[in-house]
Amino acid sequence: MNIYKNNKIQEFLQRFESRRQEVSTDVEHSVRHILQNVRENGDQAVMDYTKKFDGVDLSALTVRQEELQQAHENIDPELLDVLRQARQNIQKYHEKSLPQSWMSWEDDNVILGQRVTPIQHVGIYVPGGLAAYPSSLLMGVVPAQVAGVKDIYVTTPCAKDGSMNQTILAGAFELGVTQVYRMGGAQAIAAMAFGTETVGRVDKIVGPGNIYVATAKKLLYGQCGIDMVAGPSEVLIIADDSATPEFIAADLLAQAEHDPLASSILVTDSKKLAKSVADEVEIQMDALPRSDIMQQAVRDYGGIIVTGSLTLCAELSNRLAPEHLGLHVDDPWTLLGQIKNAGAIFLGHYSPEAVGDYWAGPNHVLPTNGSARFFSPLRTEDFLKVSSIVSYTQAALDKQGKNIEKFAKNEGLDAHATAITKRMSS
């Protein structure tokens, strides 16, 4: 793993930020064609793309209830218990941020407030490319259920032999999800956004995916809601001399195994630690099964940056706005005050990112590509919408009507002003 100092730091940062460039015109053109075809031809278009891209000839998109139940019956009981405990942790965490409706009684019997209601139909995309992720099923479905979403649709791609990940199916049954579809890619996003003969049209789509999935979500925003436009996974660790090189290397490689485009970065004020971590990364990587993916990710978008202080480390982190941020320092709570941009922050030597991916409770669907500057993790609030409540009385309108009328006329909207005037007593 390369170490960058002094004037080499800027060179590395530019290469890292190159991942944030606009989607190629070829990808966008391809996705637009897929969206249009699915809109016009429904199920048949989805099945045609599944055969073209995945080599699977489907006769139906729906996963039958019997398949879900059988997967649930056959799952390792210990793994099922793990899923249940993880679900409880995720549910407890997301219940804490559940917003409430409220009303406020003002002067002249004016009532103002907000009414919080769940989105009715939500699509959850569960990735299944280089690996399948039952954890993403939990992270999408559980907060939607906490919010009170009525209809939850889950879509996940099948393997090359047409089989489905049995843990995902068992997890769906455990969660009570009955509408599961064997489809992936941009065609799955299109099917949920437009609706087909089999797949119901949804109001919002959430969940991570590859560049085609992300592009489809971006292009369909407005047709339905989306959570965010996700990019390649990333982790940034800030560490000082109190850190353990083995822990840091393990966390860096945990992110690098996702994807060749994943980024794993260490920023430290210790030259000694930098060298130790670089050596440890090579040792651990050679012993792991996905080392080919890790090697490419570490080579292209990974690196160790040595700065003069932890304050400079925090400044670099804020610039990159990482998806995952680990604070492997002696006093992480003090350093936390300097952090402005991060999707999820893991404090201390014993809070690895994997705890957040599977177990702790916060969502692992996080902003990437620097979008933590303006996006938040997937939350209960993402499955809710707010309606403003306004109730005025005759007395209140009489008192404020002239001001409203003046405002409307200033904007050249005389009909707006007239709507006020006609209601006033004098």
Catalytic amino acids? Answer: 323-324
**β-pair partners for 264:** 235
For residues 112 and 390, the answer to whether their CB atoms sit within 8 Å is yes
Q: What is the 8-class DSSP label of residue 328? A: E
Pull the structure tokens for residue 344.
Answer: 């999820």
Pull the structure tokens for residue 206.
Answer: 């959430």
Q: In what order do the strands lie in the sheet with 324-328?
A: 3-4, 303-306, 263-268, 234-239, 324-328, 344-347
Q: How far apart are CA 381 and CA 76, in angstroms?
A: 33
For residues 90 and 143, the answer to whether their CB atoms sit within 8 Å is yes
Q: How far apart are CA 144 and CA 359, in angstroms?
A: 18
End-to-end CA distance of the chain: 78
Q: What is the 8-class DSSP label of residue 330? A: S
Pull the structure tokens for residue 109.
Answer: 């019997």
- Hey, how many other C-beta atoms are within 10 angstroms of the C-beta on 168? 24
- Residue 293, classed as helix, strand or coil, is helix
Q: How far apart are CA 412 and CA 127, in angstroms?
A: 51
Nearest partner of 153 among 131, 129, 172, judged by Cα: 172
Sign of the CA dihedral 242, 247, 249, 255? negative
Give the residue carrying structure tokens 């992300």. 214
3-state secondary structure 85-113: HHHHHHHHHHHCCCCCCEEEECHHHCEEE
Q: How far apart are CA 424 and CA 295, in angstroms?
A: 73
